[in-house]
Amino acid sequence: MSRSHDSHSPVPVVDNNFDASHKDLEKHSSSEPAFDINVSHPIVADKLARKLSARQVQMIAIGGTIGTGLFLGTGKSLATGGPASMLIAYFIVGSIVMLTMLALGEMAAFVPIAGSFCTFAGRYVDDALGFALTWNYWFNDAVSTAADLVALQLVFAYWDTGMPGWALSLIFWVVLILANIVTVRAYGEIEYWLSLLKVVTITIFIVLGIAVNCGGNTSHTYIGAHNWYIGDAPFVGGIGGFASVFVTASFAYGGTESIAITAGETANPTKNLPRVVKNVFWRILIFYILSVLLIGLNVPYTTPNLSSKTAAVSPFTIVFQQAGAKAAGSFINAMILTSVISAGNHALFAGTRLLYSLSVDNHAPKVFGRLNRNKVPYIAVIATSLISGLCFGASFIGAGQLWTWLQNLVGVSNQLAWTAIGVTSLRFRAAVKAQGKEHLLPFKNWTYPWGPRISIVMNIVIILVQGWSSFSPKFSAIDFVSYYIELVAMFVMYVAWKVFKKTKIVGLAEMDLETDVYTVGEEDLKEMEKEKGWKGKARSVLRWIF
């Protein structure tokens, strides 16, 4: 580790020249920051073990996002909105996430802590907003874990084994709890390989999807854009169908922003987080857009069980079946099964760190801030995992129906988080400028200020209109609640905490830009030097690929 856990810690300072006390190391290029290790600042939240490497963090970011939303959510999107609605919605939401990640990366590289954007909202906007957002997003991650465990039942139902779905969920629920109580390094390595398996699976799917579309299918016919012109395609369900796709797309992309939550356990975050933010999103966007395009081309929106109350079939499995043998469908279904487990694992990890942050920020009982000898918040793991017991409700109301409701809750929660990140980013940069500290930023958001503003406006519009289908053709109270209950919950928590604690919007001059700013130590500097030779460049290329 490069940080001590006392009450003071140095802060990185951007300069064009390397500090004279480090003459044994080569000078940094003018585009990279050097560091003044003589300035100290207080540490409040930065007490977790920094054991996650850049390789692990990048793959965890991909793994946390590519999961249930892509493998099953695309089926629901296709059935309710059609291929064109699905492609447009996923592109728009992907663009919003790109703007959000650039804004978040700027803040997380400067203050890399487990609370991330939730803690930033409290420090840079209003403590009441930080309180409401963190509790809301913690619930988001707990429900995401539940949604993934419910999805296990839907995917497992592909094989008629006779084993009850709730039993499978129970087994993996226990496995996830145990995996998150071990050291974070072990978690990172497990998640790395599971995430790599997802990337390989999607890569194979893209290649196979192109082949199937061009005639490499069981009927040996060229499909082309035929499925865009059948029935009501390419826009199914009118404006309601189009609007409803946004919440499933938001659910699918959700988790991208949670990469910043790993900042509290990332080695040399001032260097690695900007790299992750810039590289990971493009790979995710490519995977999503290409996958969604191929699904819309190859799978008819009328395919049975794309979205139902009792079962669901992944469009990925259908495309593999189109290519040939039944074994191909079983193979991809098994890959999807492991991917869903990985996504649930990541959601539980993120939720645990947020509950830990709530404790550190005095927004939750101190007991949730307790760490074991490996510096893992084990009580927060147990508490968060208990919420995921929602998955067992699937035994009574149908796994497909429950998963749809959970998906809506998580999707809206993601949109609220992205909106808050945009607002927080604007406040953060304004304060940095007002206090004359712009030169201290290890990474600058090149879309500021228009990027965060566009993100805020787009998110608000989508949040308000995506529940259209709950009103038309007839009003559905349950669907309405799943689309809008998050707004009520956020508002009530914000107002209650504001009244109870009498919080105020933080002024630019008094905004805390000191606490938990990361120290770049000797080990970090040596790692940077290793990357300058040909071996370092080769590792950088491999890291970008894998």
pLDDT for the residue numbered 325 = 63
- Please give the biggest Cα pair distance in the chain: 73
Token couple for 471: 């009103």
In tens digits, the chain (546 residues) has pLDDT values of 334 333 333 334 334 333 433 333 333 333 344 444 444 555 555 556 566 666 777 777 666 567 778 888 898 899 999 999 999 999 999 999 989 999 998 998 888 887 788 889 999 999 999 999 999 989 888 888 888 888 888 888 878 777 877 788 888 888 888 888 877 777 777 788 888 888 888 888 999 999 999 999 888 899 999 999 999 989 998 888 898 899 889 988 887 787 777 666 677 777 777 877 777 677 777 888 999 999 999 999 999 878 765 556 789 888 988 887 667 778 878 888 888 888 888 888 888 988 988 888 888 898 998 888 878 888 999 999 888 776 656 556 666 677 778 888 888 999 999 999 999 999 999 999 999 999 888 889 999 999 999 999 999 999 998 888 788 778 888 888 888 999 999 999 999 999 999 999 999 999 999 888 876 655 555 555 555 665 666 666 655 554
Q: How many Cβ atoms sit within 10 Å of the Cβ of residue 23? A: 9
Q: Cα separation of 279 and 443, whole Å?
A: 14
Token couple for 201: 């699976």
Side chain identity at residue 68, one-letter code: T
Residue 266's beta-bridge partner residues? Answer: 52
For residue 449, cis peptide bond before it (omega within 30 degrees of 0) = yes
Q: Cα separation of 59 and 284, whole Å?
A: 11
3-state secondary structure of 475: coil
The CATH code of domain 54-501 reads 1.20.1740.10
- Domain residues of the chain, as ranges? 54-501
Side chain identity at residue 310, one-letter code: T
Residue 9's beta-bridge partner residues? Answer: 41
Q: Cα separation of 526 and 516, whole Å?
A: 22
Side chain identity at residue 164, one-letter code: P
